[in-house]
């Protein structure tokens, strides 16, 4: 004897006794889709349910969805009636005398026997107007939008590869713990944004072995970007804490007096402003230590440097009057890396910083023209701005010493003038201790033996190209180049050499 199965799922559509080839009936399609009840159907949108059903069966999806909606509402109403009428209420008190011989009158609670403990209380997380319900509805709505088809009538799915889905925007949502604390505790929007960005940055830093053990604030203090990085979080906190009417960072150091009222002489100077030290000036500048280091770092301009026969004969020197002498400048030098096709072995070696005293490094440079080569010995040196104190190109200098520049000159008589012979190599600017130098900039030198017009000892990038590549606007360029409204003006209390006006500095 066979038992006929009867359920709400079978009553949604008319039974199709003979489905077409390659198609299945409605019941089998529901099993393949993992749908076991009418409530599983209600969790899907009408278009999504229709798309899934039509991939397996020819049953009417609109009729099935409409009937599922009705049955779900009916089951929900019957369940609520059962929950509110199935509890036997106990007598609240025992009556005596004549009252105990008569029955109780009709009351709402006695007639309907509602169990109010089964209802959701006002303000509970399970309430239909709670933040949890709003989040669940918003979550379903967003996923419905992400699955929305461009042509809903034809159910034509078109996925744009440039779309940023919720799983990528907020990957933390899938692991969000819904509790009373996380639901009803207010959180600033800025804190949520910061947490999301921090999680993504941590995943990005894990890719680079050099940064995987560093904090985000440490990495931000090491990166460089115009007017944004390096950023020192703790220095910024100090500045914000001392804002308003409070003395700003370094002001107390400047105003504090080193004298004490230990005497009553007429020349008592207690309360006078003490001598401003370098540390006070650095604090008053408003720059973080990383920004000060970036500002005082000595270097050549990045990019290609082209030298001709005329430059090699008379000598080429790097940029002058570009770096102000300061004790904050760390020792630095220039090095010529090894394993370059057009550079031989220097004498003395010039690939690492050194403290050895000598006047020049002799470097054999190979000039090429097709298969033909000519080897010329060039002298590389570092010297002061005034042309004195010749040292090795890789001799570490700086600190309180006078800033220096790079010089390149022919060490011997050049061959006859021949056009087309060129040589290319790199020179690095490194700073820090001799044992562990840090590369600051890389410069490409392009030399030629041809007789051409003299090129300047420095190169200026095209302003339009600079603004295009760095996304700087006109006011930021003025700040960067210290021009017009942002030109350098020295304080009357600052001692400056008499020739400062020749470099465009004004004591005003």
Which pLDDT score is estimated for 500?
A: 42
Which pLDDT score is estimated for 326?
A: 41
Mean pLDDT of 426-455: 76
Tell me the per-residue pLDDT of 289-320, one tens digit each, with 9 for 90 and over: 888 877 776 554 455 788 888 888 888 887 54
Q: What angle do CA 137, 178, 188 make, to 5 degrees?
A: 85
Percent of the chain scoring above 70 in pLDDT: 68
Task: Name every residue whose Cβ is closer than 8 Å to that of residue 35 and which is 6 or more positions away in sequence.
Answer: 9, 41
Mean pLDDT of 451-469: 57
Q: What φ, ψ does residue 189 adopt, rounded to 5°?
A: -60, -35
More confident residue, 368 or 80: 368
The distance in angstroms from the start CA to the end CA of the chain is 110
Mean pLDDT of 120-140: 78
- What does the alpha-carbon distance between residue 311 and residue 477 come to, in Å, rounded to a whole number? 31
Which pLDDT score is estimated for 105?
A: 63
Cα 304 off chain centre by? 30
Which pLDDT score is estimated for 146?
A: 77
Res. 363 pLDDT band, cuts 50 70 90: very high
Asked if 342 and 365 touch (Cβ cutoff 8 Å), the reply is: yes
Mean pLDDT of 335-345: 89
- What does the alpha-carbon distance between residue 255 and residue 272 come to, in Å, rounded to a whole number? 8
125-129: long-range pairs with CB below 8 Å, 24+:
125/178, 125/180, 125/183
Q: Write the class of the CATH domain 301-460.
A: mainly beta
pLDDT surpassing 80 at residue 502: no
Which pLDDT score is estimated for 153?
A: 45
Is 152 strand, coil or helix? coil
pLDDT surpassing 90 at residue 204: no
pLDDT surpassing 80 at residue 172: no
Tell me the per-residue pLDDT of 272-287, one tens digit each, with 9 for 90 and over: 555 555 667 777 777 8
pLDDT surpassing 80 at residue 377: yes
Is 129 strand, coil or helix? coil
More confident residue, 199 or 460: 199
Res. 135 pLDDT band, cuts 50 70 90: confident
Asked if 151 and 116 touch (Cβ cutoff 8 Å), the reply is: no
pLDDT surpassing 50 at residue 13: yes
Tell me the per-residue pLDDT of 91-117, one tens digit each, with 9 for 90 and over: 545 555 555 555 566 666 666 666 666
Mean pLDDT of 199-204: 82
More confident residue, 215 or 110: 215
Mean pLDDT of 136-152: 72
Percent of the chain scoring above 90 in pLDDT: 3
pLDDT surpassing 50 at residue 438: yes
Res. 263 pLDDT band, cuts 50 70 90: low
| Helix (H) or strand (E) run with residue 280 in it | helix 278-284
pLDDT surpassing 60 at residue 433: yes
- What does the alpha-carbon distance between residue 343 and residue 446 come to, in Å, rounded to a whole number? 12
- What does the alpha-carbon distance between residue 272 and residue 270 come to, in Å, rounded to a whole number? 6
- If one counts every other C-beta atom within 10 angstroms of the C-beta of residue 219, the result is 18
Tokens 């005398």 sit at which residue? 97
User: What does DSSP assign to residue 179?
Assistant: -
User: What does DSSP assign to residue 391?
Assistant: E
Mean pLDDT of 220-225: 81
| Helix (H) or strand (E) run with residue 40 in it | helix 38-42
Asked if 155 and 47 touch (Cβ cutoff 8 Å), the reply is: yes
- Helices (DSSP H) in 147-243: which residue ranges? 166-169, 180-184, 189-205, 216-222, 233-241
Asked if 238 and 249 touch (Cβ cutoff 8 Å), the reply is: yes
Q: What is the DSSP string of 63-93?
A: HHHHHHHHHHHHHHHHHHHHHHHSPPPPPSS
- Which of 22-26, 235-239, 286-290, 494-498 is predicted most confidently? 235-239
Q: What φ, ψ does residue 300 adopt, rounded to 5°?
A: -85, 160
Listed range (195-204, 328-337, 360-369, 446-455) with the worst mean pLDDT: 446-455
Tell me the per-residue pLDDT of 384-419, one tens digit each, with 9 for 90 and over: 877 788 888 888 876 545 667 888 988 888 887 777
- To the nearest whole number, what is the mean pLDDT of the chain? 74
- Half-sphere exposure for 393 (CA within 13 Å, toward CB): 28
Q: What is the DSSP string of 406-435?
A: EEEEESS---S--TT-EEEEEEEEEES-SS
Q: In the chain, what are the domain boundaries?
A: 301-460, 468-503
């Amino acid at each position: 004897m066979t038992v006929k199965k009867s359920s709400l799922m079978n009553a949604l559509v008319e039974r199709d006794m003979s489905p077409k080839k390659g198609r299945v009936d409605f019941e089998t399609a529901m099993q393949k889709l993992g749908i076991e009840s009418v409530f599983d159907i209600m969790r899907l949108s009408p278009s999504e349910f229709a798309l899934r059903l039509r991939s397996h069966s020819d049953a009417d999806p609109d009729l099935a969805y409409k009937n599922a909606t009705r049955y779900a509402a009916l089951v929900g109403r019957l369940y609520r009636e059962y929950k509110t009428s199935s509890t036997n209420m106990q007598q609240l008190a025992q009556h005596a005398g004549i009252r105990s011989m008569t029955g109780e009158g009709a009351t709402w609670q006695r007639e309907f026997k509602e169990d109010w403990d089964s209802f959701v209380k006002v303000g509970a997380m399970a309430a239909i107007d709670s933040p949890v319900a709003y989040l669940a509805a918003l979550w379903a709505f967003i996923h419905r939008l992400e699955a929305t088809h461009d042509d809903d009538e034809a159910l034509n799915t078109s996925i744009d590869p440039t779309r940023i889905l919720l799983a990528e925007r907020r990957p933390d949502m899938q692991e969000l713990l819904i509790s009373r604390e996380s639901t009803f505790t207010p959180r600033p929007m800025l804190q949520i944004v910061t947490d999301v960005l921090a999680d993504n940055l941590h995943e990005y830093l894990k890719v680079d072995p050099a940064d995987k053990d560093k904090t985000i604030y440490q990495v931000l203090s090491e990166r460089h970007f115009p007017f944004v990085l390096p950023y020192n979080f703790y220095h910024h906190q100090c500045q914000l804490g001392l804002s308003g009417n409070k003395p700003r960072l370094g002001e107390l150091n400047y105003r504090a007096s080193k004298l004490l009222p230990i005497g009553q002489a007429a020349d008592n100077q207690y309360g006078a402003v003490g001598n401003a030290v370098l540390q006070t000036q650095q604090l008053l500048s408003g720059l973080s230590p990383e920004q000060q280091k970036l500002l005082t770092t000595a270097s050549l301009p990045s990019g290609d440097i082209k030298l001709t026969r005329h430059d090699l004969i008379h000598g080429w020197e790097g940029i002058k009057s570009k770096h102000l002498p300061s004790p904050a400048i760390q020792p630095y030098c220039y090095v010529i890396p090894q394993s370059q096709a057009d550079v031989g072995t220097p004498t003395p070696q010039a690939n690492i910083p050194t403290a050895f005293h000598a006047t020049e490094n002799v470097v054999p440079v190979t000039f090429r023209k097709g298969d033909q080569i000519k080897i010329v010995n060039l002298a590389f040196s570092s010297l002061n701005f005034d042309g004195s104190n010749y040292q090795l190109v890789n001799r570490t200098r700086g600190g309180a010493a006078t800033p220096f520049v790079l010089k390149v000159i022919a060490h011997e008589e050049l061959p006859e003038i021949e056009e087309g012979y060129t040589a290319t190599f790199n020179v690095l600017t490194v700073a820090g201790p001799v044992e562990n130098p840090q590369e600051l900039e890389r410069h490409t030198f392009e030399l030629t033996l041809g007789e051409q017009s003299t090129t300047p000892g420095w190169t200026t990038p095209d302003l339009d190209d600079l603004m295009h590549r760095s996304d700087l606007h006109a006011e930021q360029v003025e700040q960067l180049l210290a021009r017009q409204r942002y030109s350098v003006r020295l304080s009357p209390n600052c001692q400056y050499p008499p020739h400062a006006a020749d470099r465009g500095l004004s004591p005003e």
